[in-house]
Amino acid sequence: MGEKLKIAVQKSGRLKEDSLKILKECGISIDNGKDQLKASAFNFPLEVLYLRNSDIPQYVEDGVADIAIVGENVVIEKQKELDVLQKLGFSKCRLAMAVPKDVDYNGLEYFNGKKLATSYPNSLRQFLDTNNLDCEIHEISGSVEIAPNIGLADGICDLVSSGSTLFKNGLTEVEEILVSEACLVANKNISNLKSAILDRLLFRMKSVLAAKNNKYILLNAPNDKIDDIIKVLPGMNSPTVMPLAKDGWSSLHSVITESDFWGVIDQLKLSGAEGILIIPIQKMVL
């Protein structure tokens, strides 16, 4: 049957859905039966282990799983010896400190001598030590946001995405400790055979991510404007230029990053570009 690379993913929740989605986008088909604890890919030497999110770093460090898709915040909090191979661009959030909205917050000194509730004591302690703050940490799991309302703490340290949960509990975010997204991590002592499989998987993931971060652009322009447009238009090497049926006109094709999109479009229009089309890219092999 041959060696298989074992990848751990969250057994339930949004991170599981996005993890399986990127594997599918990498062309990997997995039999995901209901309540399975593990499943094998049909067309790639990969076995998926469905584990509790907070346990994943330990399993990878111990070699039970070779690699995993897990939040950076969990990797930092658990303080395990892992190789972070690739940020994956989804499940973005931040670890932040929040206080009741009626508090007159005037800076980090507010927290000296206060009680803080969190599910991330290691990350919080590191932040407090870095800023020379003396606080009492209450480690709790579950609904951290309720702690100030029941008198357990003066503030909290928790993951924040939209901030709606803080708002509903009468809290306001005051300090950001770290930003996080899903990432691919690996055991530091992975075998040579499994490392070769991992290289193949990582190549596919990078191709998928590159496609998500870039757009294919097509435009028409008078031939006397081409040089000006090429100066504006970014690309992997140089834009492709093809003559149109209309005399004196050409079509230019290139790739632009998502972050450059609107700035480049404005410059292209000023340089004489017309009929600009932006097309998503499914895969991008670099």
Tens of pLDDT, residues 135-183: 999 999 888 999 999 999 999 999 998 888 899 999 999 999 999 999 9
What's the pLDDT score for residue 213?
A: 87
Query: What number of residues does the chain have?
Result: 286
In angstroms, the CA 182 to CA 184 distance is 7
What's the pLDDT score for residue 77?
A: 96
- Measured from the Cβ of residue 214, the count of other Cβ atoms closer than 10 Å reads 21
Kindly state the tokens that stand for 140. Answer: 């709790």
What's the pLDDT score for residue 90?
A: 94
What's the pLDDT score for residue 237?
A: 65
Nearest residue to 13 (alpha-carbon basis) of 58, 59, 51: 51
Contact call for residues 71 and 93 (beta carbons, < 8 A): yes
What's the pLDDT score for residue 1?
A: 56
Long-range contacts of 102-110 (CB under 8 A, 24+ apart): 102/170, 103/155, 103/172, 105/172, 105/174, 108/133, 108/175, 109/133, 110/174
Low-confidence ranges of the chain (pLDDT < 70): 1, 33-34, 234-237
Q: Which helix (H) or strand (E) holds 222?
A: strand 214-222
Domains and CATH numbers, the chain: 5-90+181-211 (3.40.190.10), 93-180 (3.40.190.10), 214-280 (3.30.70.120)
